[in-house]
Amino acid sequence: MIESNTAPSITPLTRLAHSMCVASFASQVGAPVEKAYTSIGLPVCCDDPNLWVPVRHTWAWFERASCLVDPAVGWLVGQSIGDRCLSLDLAARIEHAPTVFLGLQALIREATSESTHLEMSLRNHHDSIRLSTEYRMKSWPGYDVDQAYQLAVMVELIRYCIGRSWSPGKIGIEAKRAPGRLRDWYPGTRILTGQPCGFVEVDCRVLHQKYGDRVVCPNEPSLEKPRHLRAAVRNLIKAYMNDGPVTARKIAQLLDMSERTLFRQLRQQRSRFQLELDTARFEYAKDLIREHDLSCHQTAARVGVADAGNFSRMFRRIGGLSPSQYRNSLSA
């Protein structure tokens, strides 16, 4: 093995960008995206691709999309727009890598900037290398769709450097069946099913080639990777804030733990759920004040505080000044 990444120990989370990517594709064919999001438990009103949501919910959406849109939706989305959903940091590291080989190494090192439990490796295989991908949650619905999406994105990242006509020597998938269209999309590629992990095989003779000035279209600066519970809680609060009241019970459910465990683990990190909730509300309120002309009552409602007075006290407690003082400071 040349290089691999390791997964952190928190509940599996992934960037919302990837759900949004599939949602954009599905909406073009009239699929009921909002209804599916609601039933699965993904945030309907959040439009920040860099917030984090549970992998289980994301994969459930992928599985639903494969029924609503096309069984090969993972491949289709990965080919067409998947690489444009990479985080800013990861896209920049790949783009600025001197060679394909170093770009692939960057992808492996930074894979958890996309999904916390994604395991990738780069392995020698005769005159080629295999870029492999897998999760340990292989039994979760949507796993195969997500793997197809990842593999398609990998191929597109290499094609940006080598050329659109390039196809890997082999593509391995864990699923027992592969769409017949794969042979049209990847001419000359041998498709192997029932493999222990997903992989793309790259001829060593192309690894030295340089990345050109390819276009990377990330959305917004990426947020803190949720490697620790506090960061995970904060990201989930922000992601679900516009969908209604965010409670400790809801966040605990999203993290696959009890409220008691959530409270205990936050205490171990010298925090409390209410502090994380208020901090997330404060940060969101600052964004609203900077970007919109809303009243104090309207801003309070948007961040989930019913009373404007309580909101002002919370804002001052966290930031040391009132909402109006903060607004005035922006024009000073």
Give the residue from 85, 75, 44 showing the smallest Cα distance to 240.
44
Domains of the chain: residue spans and CATH? 3-206 (3.90.1520), 229-331 (1.10.10.60)
Question: Which pLDDT belongs to residue 211?
Answer: 56
String of DSSP letters for 247-272: -HHHHHHHTTS-HHHHHHHHHHTT--
Fill in the DSSP letter of residue 121: E
pTM: 0.78
Question: Which pLDDT belongs to residue 188?
Answer: 92
**pLDDT tens-place values along the chain, 332 residues long:** 334 444 445 789 999 999 999 999 999 888 899 999 999 999 988 888 999 999 999 999 999 999 999 999 999 999 988 788 888 888 878 877 778 888 888 899 888 889 988 889 988 888 888 999 988 899 999 999 999 999 999 999 888 877 888 899 999 999 999 998 998 999 999 999 999 999 999 988 888 776 553 433 334 344 445 557 888 898 899 899 988 889 999 999 999 999 999 999 898 888 889 989 988 898 899 889 988 889 999 999 999 998 999 999 988 888 888 898 888 878 76
Residue environment code for 69-100, b if the CB has 16+ CB neighbours within 10 A, otherwise e: bbbbbbbbbbbebbbbbbbeebbebbbebeeb
Q: What Cα–Cα distance (Å) separates residue 195 from each residue in 117, 153, 154?
A: 20, 19, 17
Q: Determine the Cα–Cα distance for residues 60 and 77; give it in Å rounded to an integer.
A: 16
β-pairing, 52-54 vs 170-172, is unpaired
The total number of residues written for the chain in this structure = 332
Name every residue whose Cβ is closer than 8 Å to that of residue 119 and which is 6 or more positions away in sequence: 4, 5, 6, 7, 111, 133, 134, 135, 136
Name every residue whose Cβ is closer than 8 Å to that of residue 198 and which is 6 or more positions away in sequence: 132, 133, 134, 147, 150, 151, 172, 173, 174
**323's tokens:** 């909402």
Say how many Å lie between the first and final Cα of the chain, rounded: 56
Give the residue from 104, 112, 145 showing the smallest Cα distance to 3.
104
**52's tokens:** 């984090």
**201's tokens:** 């095989």
Q: Determine the Cα–Cα distance for residues 306 and 75; give it in Å rounded to an integer.
A: 44
| 121 beta partners | 4, 132
**Cβ–Cβ under 8 Å, residues 131 and 168:** no
Question: Which pLDDT belongs to residue 1?
Answer: 32
- Per-residue pLDDT tens digits for 161-197: 778 888 999 999 999 999 989 989 999 999 999 999 9
Question: Which pLDDT belongs to residue 131?
Answer: 93
Q: Determine the Cα–Cα distance for residues 247 and 206; give it in Å rounded to an integer.
A: 51
| 136 beta partners | none
Name every residue whose Cβ is closer than 8 Å to that of residue 157 and which is 6 or more positions away in sequence: 83, 94, 103, 107
- Per-residue pLDDT tens digits for 102-138: 888 889 988 888 998 888 998 888 888 899 998 889 9
Helices and strands of the chain, counted as H and E runs: 15, 8
Question: Which pLDDT belongs to residue 164?
Answer: 81
